[in-house]
Structures are given as C-alpha cells and as structure tokens.
Amino acid sequence: MGRFVAVRLFHGVVVVFLAVTAVFFMLRLSGDPALLYVPIDTSPEEIEAVRERMGLNDPLVVQYAQFITDAAKGDFGDSTRQQRPATEVVLERLPATLELGVAALLIAMVVGIPLGVFAALHHGSFWDRIASLIAVLGQALPNFWLGLLLILAFSVSLNWLPTGGRGGLQQLIMPAIALSAASMARYARLSRSIMLDVLHQDYIRTAHAKGLNPTRIITIHAFKNASISIVTITGLEVGRLLGGAVVVENVFAWPGLGRVTVQALENRDFAIVTFAVVLFAVLFTMANLLADLAYGWFNPQVRYR
C-alpha cells in the first residue's frame, strides 16, 4: 500500500509541475509579459524599466528557473489591480468555490446515483425511460443556460430566491443545481449501466436463490461492487465541477475562484490568473489522488499491480 501511495503522490507532483510550466510558457507566448502589467499609453522607457525590474531581459532559461523557484516558495507576484499578493487575493475566494463545489457534488451523487439504480431495477419500463430522459437533458443543457432559466423561474417570476451573491442557503441553491446538472446525469447513466451489469452476475442469482432479502442483495452485494467505478469517476467529476464553476460563478455573481479569474483576465491581472490556474491544477490533482486511493482501498488488487 505504501508504494501505491508513493507512486500516486509522485504522479500528482508531476502534474502540478507541468501545470506551472504550462502557465509560464503560455504567458510568454501571449506576448511581451511587461506589456501585460503596464497601461496602454506607457512610454517605451517605462516599459523597459518594468522589463528590467521583472527580469524579463534575462535569458528564458534563467526566467523559467526564477519563476519555478518563486512558485515553489508560494510567490506568484502581486496583483496589479489590488496591489497585494496574488496568492492572498485568490485564497480569499477559495472557500466560496469549495462551498459551491461540495454542494454541487453532493446534489449530483444524492440525486444521480439513486436515479441510476432505480432505472436499472426497472429496466425497460416507463420509469427507466423517464430516468434516462432526465439524464440526457442534464448532460445536454449548458450550465450557464440552465442557470439563466433558474433565475428567470425562481427569481424573476416567482421571486423565491435571490438572483446571485453569496450568503445563506438561498443564495447557494440555484448555482449548486446549475453546476451539478451535468455531473448528476453522468452519475445516473454510469450507475444504471453498472447496476445492469452487476445484477446479471452469477453471485446475484445465487443470492436470490438462497432467499436473501432483495433490499440486502441490492444494497450490500450489488451496489458495493458497482460503487468501485462510481468512486473512480468522482475524481474526474471534481475536475469538471471546478471547470464549470468558472461559468456558473459569473452567472450568479458567486465570489469564488472562477469569478476572480475571469475578472483578472478582463483586467489583465495575470499574477492572479497564474496562481488561480495552478490552484485549480492542485485541487484537481488532489481529488484524483484521493479517488485513486479510495479505489485501491475498495479493490486491493490494484495496489499490488
């Protein structure tokens, strides 16, 4: 088990390192970085002074080494708009994104998994078709469009919920639903597919032949084996939710990582963008690492391979 964990940790470190490297070179490919930190009407002399102060006159290898060294220390530069460290600005928004992401993941699992299991148990019936239709719609609707529909329905027409912002449960409901829709659909479709396969296994037939309680067969025997694959995709779903949060947070004015990243792009505040991208990579890597470890715990054969 120790070697299994060590290999997964090493893979995670490599992914984060590649993300940091990609941010560095993408920033250079987008043009002269000095021009990103000065007003448009800045004189050439002032631009040259900025370039010298930022070390942009050094060879690219030297700049890259300095960037990696600073990043390892947690220094990604200062926000040009807020005049304070980019890490401080971004980390202030992290709790809001985690709150929204966790709420969306819980909704997706609590609704999607039982929906898929229910469809599998009623395979070929009217309820199976309804569940499949709900899953298809959830995956087909763009989250920003679903968010706008929710605002029109529950804020504008019914006046039940606020249109945006962060505060109590009322502000969380609509963005969490909009963000969770696609993940809920994927959980439902995967749960249905896996349960259909598991329910036709020989050990399930044997359990029925022995006269075991049907509920116990489904929850203890069938779903336990089906949950291995569900655990596997959870790490991927976290990444998708983080990506979707960038759009949903802007629709609902949710003050999270996605919203501050878009605002930083509009304001040419690339220190914030750099650290936000790296933080997204770290969160995604950690989620997949936990999913790998959970999968190894559910299926011990993986650890020995």
Neighbours of 7 (CB within 10 A): 11
* Domains of the chain with CATH codes: 2-72 (no CATH), 86-304 (1.10.3720.10)
CA-closest candidate to residue 238, choices 197, 294, 174, 198: 294
State the burial class of residue 180 (Cβ atoms within 10 Å of its Cβ: 0-12, 13-18, 19+).
Answer: buried
Give the confidence band of 33 by pLDDT, cuts at 50, 70, 90.
low
106-127 tens-digit pLDDT:
998 888 888 888 888 787 788 8
Give the confidence band of 180 by pLDDT, cuts at 50, 70, 90.
confident
Cβ 117 vs Cβ 195: under 8 Å: yes
CA-closest candidate to residue 269, choices 92, 103, 81, 15: 81
Residue 25: strand, helix, or coil: helix
* Residue 233 pLDDT exceeds 60: yes
The proportion of the chain whose per-residue pLDDT surpasses 70, expressed as a percent, equals 84
Q: Which two tokens stand for residue 277?
A: 């991208």
Q: Which two tokens stand for residue 216?
A: 């116990």
81-114 tens-digit pLDDT:
777 888 888 888 888 888 888 899 899 888 888 8
Cβ 155 vs Cβ 161: under 8 Å: yes
Q: Which amino acid is at 124?
A: G
Sole residue written with tokens 């084996």: 225
Q: Which two tokens stand for residue 234?
A: 């959870």
Looking at residue 42, what is its pLDDT? 74
CA-closest candidate to residue 188, choices 125, 74, 108: 108
Cβ 248 vs Cβ 143: under 8 Å: yes
For residues 264-285, average pLDDT: 80
Q: DSSP letter for 220, please.
A: I
For residues 228-256, average pLDDT: 80
Cβ 122 vs Cβ 266: under 8 Å: no
* Residue 78 pLDDT exceeds 80: no
State the burial class of residue 270 (Cβ atoms within 10 Å of its Cβ: 0-12, 13-18, 19+).
Answer: buried
Which contacts (CB < 8 Å, 24+ apart) does range 163-168 have? 163/252, 163/253, 164/251, 164/252, 164/253, 164/254, 165/252, 165/253, 165/254, 165/255, 166/96, 166/99, 166/254, 166/255, 166/256
Cβ 108 vs Cβ 187: under 8 Å: yes
Cβ 26 vs Cβ 32: under 8 Å: no
77's CB contacts (< 8 A; 6+ apart) are 70, 85, 86, 271, 274
Looking at residue 304, what is its pLDDT? 47
Provide the CA 30 distance to its chain's centre, in angstroms: 26
Looking at residue 298, what is its pLDDT? 61
Task: Name, of 146-150, 193-197, 198-202, 230-234, the range with top average pLDDT.
Answer: 146-150
Looking at residue 148, what is its pLDDT? 87
Task: Name, of 13-27, 44-58, 141-155, the range with top average pLDDT.
Answer: 141-155
